[in-house]
Amino acid sequence: MAIDLFQFREFRIRDYHALLRRGEISVEELLEAFLQRIGSVDGQIRAFLSLNEEGARIRAQKLDRDIPPDEFPPLWGIPVGVKDNICTEGLPTTCGSRILYNFIAPYDATVVEKLKRAGAIIVGKTNMDEFAMGSSTENSAFGPTRNPFDLRRVPGGSSGGSAAALASLETPLALGSDTGGSVRQPASFCGVVGLRPTYGRVSRYGLVSFASSLDQVGPMARNVEDCITLFEVISGSDGKDSTCAPYPPFSRQDIPKEEEIRKMKVGIPREYFSSGVDEAIVRRIEEVLDLLRREGLECVEVSLPHTDCALEAYYIVAPAEASSNLARYDGVLYGLREEGSTLQEMYCRTRTAGFGKEVKRRIILGTYSLSSGYYDDYYLKGMKVRTLVRKDFEEALQKCHFLVTPVSPCFPFFLGERTQSPYEMYLADVFTIPSAMAGIPGISINCGYENGLPIGLQILGGPFREGWVFGLALFLEKMLSLSSPFPLLPERS
């Protein structure tokens, strides 16, 4: 059967499964439709760093042969894009860095293993800021990804490749990672859905470390329901990651019903509606809050007084951890190697050639704040601020069930607009970093458009309250009756 992807724009996994179950399409045909879409639009978007066409086809044929159609595992036959800092056996895992340009992962990350067990097909590895450091994908050593809504603009970052691939319907599902906002901010810029889980809800085994006390793999999708399905598959304890909480995988049974959601209380943190936020974004979020009030939900104002310091503290804590994690890229075991006449010279030449500017900046910052004499003034202080930030959320979330905020203070900016000023770039994450520091879950969903550009809305909840967060997200998705993105892309030149 010839497949028209336009017909898929509102599809959910269950709709694909209905087609497969009725035998109207095969897994192979479904995969071919997405590969064709990638072939026709990715030259402009550049969401993928590498494709797994051959492996995906072999797997699709195997699924068509093997699995009895009435026993579908949750992701049976569904293509998934995987961010390039998540290890996938036999496929490149470059982290968007020259230093890992030739690295083929020898094993699967736990999340990838789980995807495969659930029947998913890994279609390729998605572009990202180098080692997930950035908010635009412009820090990728292999060139930026473009925003499908306006090719002159960034898709956000660092999981910009995953977000753009979803928005342009190159894949129905994707994985990202969020250290300080890297799932939510690109989801917001591309009009898709992205969840940052509670720290410890998803295994980090096989996720290349950036800042280990903050990193989390997050599910990304074109609608809330698919995001939930993907989260059910990837969450849960893992003996290979000691920071992974000893809980069973998330289950949609934990999502409150609509009647219960209507009785819940929404907190509005006043610091997230300050003067630095684009007026159109504030206006839209306020309209949504009005709608929630009309639907019976009580909205209360709350305060997160340490919001401003969270960003500063993050840029102490995250680079400190990064400087230690990135010490392993020395040209010895894997990746790029630039020879030198001494070991020291080899290290130095390898790291000089292999790392980009932003990564070097963070390594230097992190090494500085951890060095003796500065540790107390910087790292220790940063950690103290982190505790205050966490307390802010604990207190606020005693007064309400969840918080509703903008995801980003600005719209997707133009390529090159912020690359000269790291601080400007860092500001794109002011509203996602504090909750990451607190370790609590947050989702980004689309809540409308202004001049053709998507606006993201963030829902934050207490630790392990993904059920509540999803409950409100589903409720809003329905109330706002927003469709999944389908930006019209110019013909390939």
Is position 429 an interface residue for ligand GLN (rule: CB under 6 A)? Answer: yes
182, 369, 408, 484: which one is catalytic? 182
Q: Which residues, including other chains, have CB under 8 Å from residue 443's CB and lie 6 or more apart?
A: 184, 193, 194, 195, 196, 224, 227, 458, 459, 469, 470, 473
The owner of tokens 């917001």 is 188
d(CA 233, CA 236): 8
For the CB of residue 180, give the shortest distance to ligand GLN in the complex, in Å.
3
| Interface with ligand GLN, residue 179, by CB under 6 A | yes
The only residue of 121, 228, 318, 457 in contact with ligand GLN, by rule CB under 6 A:
318
Structure tokens that stand for 436 in this block: 């990451």
Catalytic status, residue 182: yes
Instruction: Identify whether the C-beta of residue 179 lies closer than 8 Å to the C-beta of residue 429.
Output: no
Of the candidate spans 27-35, 62-70, 175-183, 442-450, the one that interacts with ligand GLN by CB under 6 A turns out to be: 175-183
User: Which of 38, 45, 111, 133 touches ligand GLN (CB under 6 A)?
Assistant: 133
Query: In the complex with ligand GLN, which residue's Cβ is closer, 181 or 439?
Result: 181
Q: Closest CB to ligand GLN among 57 and 361?
A: 361
Q: Is the dihedral of CA 139, 141, 145, 151 positive or negative?
A: positive
Task: Decide: 111 and 207 in contact? Cβ < 8 Å.
Answer: yes
Part in contact with ligand GLN (CB under 6 A); list of ranges 22-30, 67-75, 130-138, 382-390: 130-138
Beta bridge partner(s), residue 299: 266
Choice between 232 and 358, CB closer to ligand GLN = 358
Range in contact with ligand GLN (rule: CB under 6 A) among 110-118, 131-139, 336-344, 398-406: 131-139
**Could you tell me which residues are beta bridge partners of residue 104?**
92
Measured from the CB atom, is 96 or 471 closer to ligand GLN? 96
Judged by CB under 6 A, the number of residues near ligand GLN is 13
Binding mask 88-127 for ligand GLN (x = CB under 6 A): ----------------------------------------
Stretch that binds ligand GLN, among 30-38, 61-69, 128-136, 369-377 (CB under 6 A): 128-136
182 binds ligand GLN (CB under 6 A): yes
Beta strands at 173-178 and 193-196: parallel, antiparallel or unpaired: unpaired
Q: Which one of 42, 113, 178, 466 is in contact with ligand GLN (CB under 6 A)?
A: 178
In whole angstroms, how close is the CB of 484 to ligand GLN at the nearest point? 24
Q: Is 158 one of the catalytic residues?
A: yes
Specify the DSSP element, H or E, that contains 401. none
Is 203 an active-site residue?
Answer: no
The length of the chain, given as a count of residues: 493
Which of these ranges, 90-98, 176-184, 372-380, 397-405, lies near ligand GLN under the rule CB under 6 A?
176-184
The two three-digit tokens of residue 66, written as one number: 């093997």
The angle subtended at Cα 315 by Cα 312 and Cα 319, nearest 5°, is 160
180 makes contact with ligand GLN (CB under 6 A): yes
Q: Which of 135, 136, 140, 158 is catalytic?
A: 158
Give the tokens for residue 376: 């107390």
Distances (CA, A) of 288 to 225, 297, 371: 20, 12, 47
DSSP-derived 3-state class of residue 124: strand
Work out the number of other CB atoms within 10 angstroms of the CB of residue 453. Answer: 16
Q: Does 181 sit near ligand GLN (CB under 6 A)? A: yes
Radius of gyration of the chain (CA): 21
Q: Which residues bind ligand GLN (CB under 6 A)?
A: 132-135, 158, 178-182, 210, 318, 429
- The residues carrying an active-site annotation are 83, 158, 182
